[in-house]
Amino acid sequence: MQRSQAISAFIGHESALDQIRGTARFIDDLPEVAGSLHLAPVCSPIAHGRLISIDAEQALGMPGVQALIQAGDLSGPNEIANMAGDEPILAQHEVSYAGQVVALVAARSHREALAAAAKVKLHIEALPSVLSIEQAMEECAWITPPVLLERGDTDGAMAKAAHRLKAQRWIGGQEHFYLEGQIAYAIPEEQEAMLVHSSTQHPGEVQHWIAHALDVPAHRVRVLCRRMGGGFGGKETQSGQIAVWAAVAAKRLACPVKMRLDRDDDFKITGKRHPFRVRYEVGFDDEGRLLALDAELASDCGFSADLSIPVNERALFHVDNAYYLESLRIRSYRCRTNKQSNTAFRGFGGPQGMYLIESAIGDVARYLGEDALLIRLRNVYGSAPRNTTPYGMTVEDEFIGDLMRKLAQDCRYESRRHALKTGCLPRGIAITPVKFGISFNATHFNQAGALLQWFTDGSLALHHGGTEMGQGLHTKLLGIVARVLGLDPAQIRVMTTDTHAIANASATAASAGSDLNGRAAEMAAHSLRDRLIDYWSKATGAQRASMRFEQGHVYWNDQKNLTQSIPLHELVSKAYLARVQLWAEGFYSTPKIHFDPKTRLGRPFYYFSWGAACTEVEVDPRTGCYRVLAVDILHDVGHSLNERIDRGQVIGGFVQGMGWLTTEELRWHDDGRLLTHAPSSYKIPTARDLPEHMVLNFWPMPNREDNVGRSKAVGEPPLMLALSVIEALRDAVANIRAVSHTSQRPLGVEGPMVHLDAPGTPQRVFFAIRHRAE
């Protein structure tokens, strides 16, 4: 099957040249208004305690220091206006984690503010703290009550199963490590208004939070976001706190205020990917087909709800990954601890849910002495009746088995598996699939708006509610509008995301940025095109059906059926003189989706994105050190909107997922202080961690749903392809045992399970090898 050309296959990133030249402005590059001040946070040094007093005498006497702002100085309620209402703007009577912001120091420079903040003395009376999932489970410390998802007769199916296995796995969190840290710049304006530049994925929510904190209507708060230097979910909600701090200080001090967290403070203050403890019992037959799954998901949510409820819901919805589970019972525990409030991160709970089932499949394969790929293929979704998810949604795509077999064939999986024993060091190989649902869990967020303005010289300005964080959203939308109007993309400029241009916009998240905003922009472009067609057909007698927009011209057949044309900019100018409206809005809401939160049944996702990855690793059994030797990916992006961008997203997502599962380890002191709060102690993947062999191909099928351009989302799904890395590591550990202790079993298959938690650091791999040798 041949792929059709991407909608904007040859459009480079819209800000690439500015990025290279250094002219692309981020918030810290903006010229500062005269009289601007800078904020630095004063943070709690302990995990839980009663705040007795704040002594800022020394700090207030330091050079450049202008003020100390505490909870009592706020003009509005001391409450972040999130749905749970469980988080203060500034800690007042009680501190709930080490790093919680208690006060803000305002000074003439960033360095002066940081120096003064370090001199503020906090008198805190320590209280008992909850610092682990185990402790929270023992004390029944929940963000929300536990949730049960049950389908089929789990107990009956488990009792009838020929084989049963139990296991427990720990899944670590992950720091977002965006290149541009959290930052906001608030500038007071007339009529009690506030202009705020915010590095955020959700300007509309930032606007709402600031209006609430300042006790003003939303129309008095304008939030702008030209671009972010990365987000990954870490700027979906938590950017709002920084913007609120800047805004309340700007109002209090009646001057512009900038707040930029340095890297250490960013680590200590903001939330991460949710760590999970997963437990499962799986029942299966002699062929490895799963008959029953009884599982438990327990996540560390931190001290407040933030987005933990939908994150855990998505984890529940993705425990099946690409596999049909007829009978299952899953208990979900959302644990409250005295740590940073964990938040959205690329995948939004999906990776943790998929981790559970992929671990179970690998365990089943080793128990039965089978190749794990064969077990996976026997369990994937297929035709009815094996096409219904645990939440009642029909899986209409039936190609995941074909996709996995195609990848195995293309990457020579079978021959490579047989060759594992020929290397100098033990190796492992694994293919894992991905099925990821696309849409916001909360149905009402699945909407978007766009505004397209045509100027009389033929150029256009496009406003939409999405935000650019390097993922190429603006570039994809340029391609969509340019295709509809037959224009060079250079004729179109995507404007700064602005809450006063597009109101109530949803977050750029859930991998839905292009789906939602792209379709809204496309609808606006069609409205403008249709309006010009109406005008010109009436003005000239042009045959409407013959009119087409190509290469900056409009072509049509006249009444004699002869082809005529006019430059598009001339037509626009004529339309203006004829008083034709030259702007149009587009609004899109995702169709078909619905979900009942009480029964946990419905269609929460518009469609699924699919993919599979094959990873081969090499492990030194003496040290546990390893290398990723080769990665082959076959991924489903539908009809790509921009193949260059999609390739970058798939590879980048895989590498970020590989970091989560291998090197990125968050560690806390026993007293609750984060120890890994800088690049010196927290290790993200570098270019040297990439394998020499890395091949990416796209599955050649358009989206079956009428999504924009028949494309599919590409932001989050590729991250979960990296589950193949840790499964390959488990396979390598199993092979070390096979080489050392028996010549009878094939490599990679044996009885006991491989005990390897994530991240699978060299230390953990070493102890997994030792554990198997004992």
Catalytic residues: 716
Q: What are phi and psi of 279, to 5 degrees?
A: -130, 145
Facing residues of 697 across strands? 634
Instruction: Provide the greatest CA pair distance for the chain.
Output: 90
> Is residue 396 within 8 Å of residue 704, measured between CB atoms?
yes
| Both tokens assigned to 326 | 């007829």
Region of 308 on the Ramachandran plot (φ > 0 left; ψ -120 to 50 alpha; else beta): alpha
Residue with tokens 């500034």: 90
Interatomic CA distance for residues 232 and 649, integer angstroms: 12
Residue with tokens 């990457």: 411
Task: Write the CA distances from 291 to 149, 154, 157, 321, 641, integer angstroms.
Answer: 16, 8, 6, 15, 40
> Is residue 548 within 8 Å of residue 486, measured between CB atoms?
yes
Interatomic CA distance for residues 198 and 210, integer angstroms: 11
Task: Return the number of other C-beta atoms located less than 10 Å from residue 57's C-beta.
Answer: 10
Interatomic CA distance for residues 457 and 476, integer angstroms: 23
Q: What are phi and psi of 431, to 5 degrees?
A: -115, 125
Q: Give yes or no for a cis peptide into 385 (omega within 30° of 0).
A: yes
Interatomic CA distance for residues 201 and 230, integer angstroms: 10
Q: What are phi and psi of 171, to 5 degrees?
A: -120, 120
431 three-state secondary structure = strand
Interatomic CA distance for residues 356 and 330, integer angstroms: 11
Task: Write the CA distances from 4 to 7, 62, 336, 550, 664, integer angstroms.
Answer: 9, 65, 49, 19, 38
Interatomic CA distance for residues 146 and 729, integer angstroms: 33
Interatomic CA distance for residues 437 and 397, integer angstroms: 12
Rg of the chain over CA atoms, in angstroms? 28
| Both tokens assigned to 192 | 């009690």
Task: Write the CA distances from 390 to 152, 317, 320, 328, 604, integer angstroms.
Answer: 9, 8, 8, 8, 12
Residue with tokens 């049960």: 148
Residue with tokens 């766009």: 450
Q: Are strands 607-619 and 49-55 parallel, antiparallel or unpaired?
A: unpaired
120 three-state secondary structure = coil
Interatomic CA distance for residues 209 and 196, integer angstroms: 12
Q: Give the contacts of 178 (CB within 8 A, at least 6 positions apart).
A: 228, 229, 230, 231, 232, 234, 235, 469
CB contact burial 264-295 (16+ within 10 A = b; e otherwise): ebbbbbbbbbbbbbbebbbbbeeebbbbbbbb
Count the residues in the chain. 774
Interatomic CA distance for residues 684 and 662, integer angstroms: 9
Interatomic CA distance for residues 350 and 312, integer angstroms: 8
Task: Return the number of other C-beta atoms located less than 10 Å from residue 579's C-beta.
Answer: 8
Interatomic CA distance for residues 183 and 29, integer angstroms: 11
679 CB-contact burial (10 Å; exposed 0-12 / middle 13-18 / buried 19+): exposed
Q: DSSP per residue over 588-638, as a string?
A: EE-SS-EEETTTTEEE--SEEEEEEEEEEEEE-TTT--EEEEEEEEEE--B
